[in-house]
Structure 1
């Protein structure tokens, strides 16, 4: 029942239709997954959603992303979530629930012990609600992934990273942390990388689209020489440059945990890309590498071609090396 599907695009579910649908589904005890994303569902349906989530004892995944729920609607829905003991994945991304709606969800997580993943991208969250989530994760032992991309941060950006860093020093449950588009800068990132040197459980870190520059890239590289848990790192759309990439490449010479690395669109030139190619010749762990949108020269493109031939474990990349009159260049590879 995804509203952007070709079948429903011109007949998206409204509040009244959602209420009727949930009344029917409430009587079907075997329903485990509901996806009503990309529709026209707003606060009028919130009470019905809350009742459904409180009463249904089999539902495991509920996706209502990219609808029209506001703070008021989310406050109502959290009342049902507090008493739910089966829901594992809740996706409310793309709803303008605001900072107060985020605070209500954070409070709910203090009581809910079944939730494993919560998606809150593009929800107009504020710094206060981000801090609330990081605080809850000091004691919540069920949540394994949290997605907090693109909040509305006018202030306290640095303070939010301090709180997440503190959380990572003690949390042993969280596996996936998405802080993409959080306006993170190098001086703030340092808190996170220092904590990750000691964290032993986080596996997936998404820092796409922040304001991480050369020093931040170098911090990540130094962290990867120590961290033994991270497997997936997304740094795309930052500006780590040559020296940031070089430090990460140096770490990959010995790091045996990172499987997927994305450094697309980072202003990396010949030095960084050649260092990365050299690391690939020794690294047998990397399975996917995304580097499109950087500044390839013929020399760095040729070095990458040699690395691709040498490294038999690499399964996926977003570039293909081409030779024209013996001169190497790269083209985007879309799979």
Structure 2
């Protein structure tokens, strides 16, 4: 590590930039590091975030390194020039497999630089996190085209990158027709003006064809009940590989309850469903509760902030008492009253929490059952 530290300091001198103190400290620790944690929102870098010239120096120092497998450069001040330097690094370094660039200022130009490395035969990068960069629809389309030939990536996070209709369709088409290696994709918070039937039809077609995707993030897609029905009927019920589905912060109403019930009953691979910050209400919760005891494959369910009242919450409490397979259930932000609080108090007292992760703690005060928020990880 000392040799890498000295080389980095030398490269910083050549590029006329100040060495990153966090890098120097980590490489001087005397341990054989496999990762460099240089996220700009950390305490040690918060007021002195990494600039693109420092990335140039770091990349050149890592050209022949065989120890560092993970590089976290999230939340710094990195632009497209930094992406160009990282692209050169990925072309020659066959050890780096994790790269986090979340929360920087990369545009479609920077994506184009990265793609030049990701389409090279022998590229080793497996995880690429680009969330929070203004890639735009052009950048998303480029990533979709890249996925047609790349075979190394296993995880791609494109959430909150200003992708729009063309970008989502490009990515989903690539995963449906060509890519057979990507396992996790996050398309959360695209730049859509209301619900878009074309994107959900494209995603459904992809899900019906793709056999390798394990995790899919579709939060903040302005999804309404009819879109969910399209996704489930033409995609999820024909899919055989997906295990985790994020539908949080959409516009699903109580009318989506029967669709979710059908999905939970008929798709026996999905282990985790995130539905927080929708409006499923009591009717939606009742539909979920009806099938929860029988869906032994479903282990994690998030129903926070869904406008669920006493009736729906009491049904979920009763269902939980018969669903020992559930490992986590999150319900905070719904409308708990004394009856539902008592129902959960009785259920948890009878069954015990055991390995269950739940975000509420029922208690009794002055003879009245109430719930408190319980922090979970």
Q: TM-score, normalised by structure 2?
A: 0.86
Are the equivalent residues in 2 in contact too, given 1:288–1:315 (CA < 8 A)? yes
Are the equivalent residues in 2 in contact too, given 1:218–1:245 (CA < 8 A)? no
Find 2:356's aligned residue among 315, 320, 324. 315
Alignment of structure 1 residues 271-310 onto 2, 5 Å: 271-310=311-350
Corresponding residue for residue 141 of structure 2: 103
Alignment of structure 1 residues 100-139 onto 2, 5 Å: 100-138=138-176, 139=178
Q: What number of residue pairs does the alignment pair up?
A: 335
Corresponding residue for residue 285 of structure 2: 245
Corresponding residue for residue 221 of structure 1: 261
Matched, 1:325 2:366: yes
Q: 2: distance between equivalents of 1:243 and 1:314?
A: 28
Matched, 1:42 2:79: yes
Q: Per-residue displacement from partner, 1:15-57 (whole Å, max 9, x unpaired)?
A: 1111111110112123211111110010122221111112211
Alignment of structure 1 residues 1-335 onto 2, 5 Å: 1-83=38-120, 84-138=122-176, 139-154=178-193, 157-194=196-233, 195-312=235-352, 313-335=354-376
Q: 2: distance between equivalents of 1:153 and 1:311?
A: 44
**1:131 Cα deviation after fit:** 0.9
Q: 1: distance between equivalents of 2:236 and 2:147?
A: 24
Are the equivalent residues in 1 in contact too, given 2:358–2:374 (CA < 8 A)? yes
Partner SS for 2:162: coil
Q: Per-residue displacement from partner, 1:73-96 (whole Å, max 9, x unpaired)?
A: 111221111115211100111110
Which of structures 1 and 2 has the bigger CA Rg? Answer: 2
Partner SS for 2:364: strand
Are the equivalent residues in 2 in contact too, given 1:222–1:247 (CA < 8 A)? no
Q: Per-residue displacement from partner, 1:154-203 (whole Å, max 9, x unpaired)?
A: 26722111111111112110000000011100011101122322322100
Corresponding residue for residue 28 of structure 2: none
**Deviates further, 26-35 or 125-134:** 26-35
Q: 2: distance between equivalents of 1:77 and 1:17?
A: 18
| Unaligned segments of structure 2, at least 5 residues | 1-37
**Deviates further, 306-315 or 5-14:** 306-315
Are the equivalent residues in 1 in contact too, given 2:90–2:123 (CA < 8 A)? no
Partner SS for 1:5: coil
**1:309 Cα deviation after fit:** 2.2
Alpha-carbon RMSD: 1.3
**Deviates further, 61-70 or 216-225:** 216-225
**1:68 Cα deviation after fit:** 0.8
Q: 2: distance between equivalents of 1:271 and 1:67?
A: 45
Are the equivalent residues in 2 in contact too, given 1:127–1:155 (CA < 8 A)? no
**1:227 Cα deviation after fit:** 1.3
**1:104 Cα deviation after fit:** 0.7
Q: TM-score, normalised by structure 1?
A: 0.97
| Unaligned segments of structure 1, at least 5 residues | none
**Deviates further, 213-222 or 127-136:** 213-222
Q: 2: distance between equivalents of 1:218 and 1:300?
A: 22
Q: 1: distance between equivalents of 2:351 and 2:238?
A: 30
